Amino acid sequence: MASPRQELLDRISTLTDEEARRTIVFVDGLRGDDDTARLRRLLAGDPAFRVPASGTPRFREVKPARGKGQPASKLLVADRR
């Protein structure tokens, strides 16, 4: 019985160029390729999105405001029942 690695090598030799490209993208995902970088590359080609420079700082963390009384979400659930 062939090892999984050898079986994979045997199957790779029969892939088309498009299948090989998709396989490379999949393998990069398995290796923990930075999701942010992959998403940036994907969105950069779409004119509907403006991708900021990679050095752009992230949004600062905002803590939710605390109010008096019951939260609106609980009131909505109670209203639906």
List the structure tokens of 4: 């999984």
Q: Percent of the chain beyond pLDDT 90?
A: 1
What's residue 48's pLDDT?
Answer: 86
For residue 54, give every residue at least 6 positions away whose Cβ sits within 8 Å of its Cβ, in sequence order, or none. 37, 40
User: What average pLDDT score do residues 39-46 get?
Assistant: 78
pLDDT for 9 beyond 70: yes
What's residue 26's pLDDT?
Answer: 79
Contact yes or no for 51/40 (Cβ under 8 A): yes
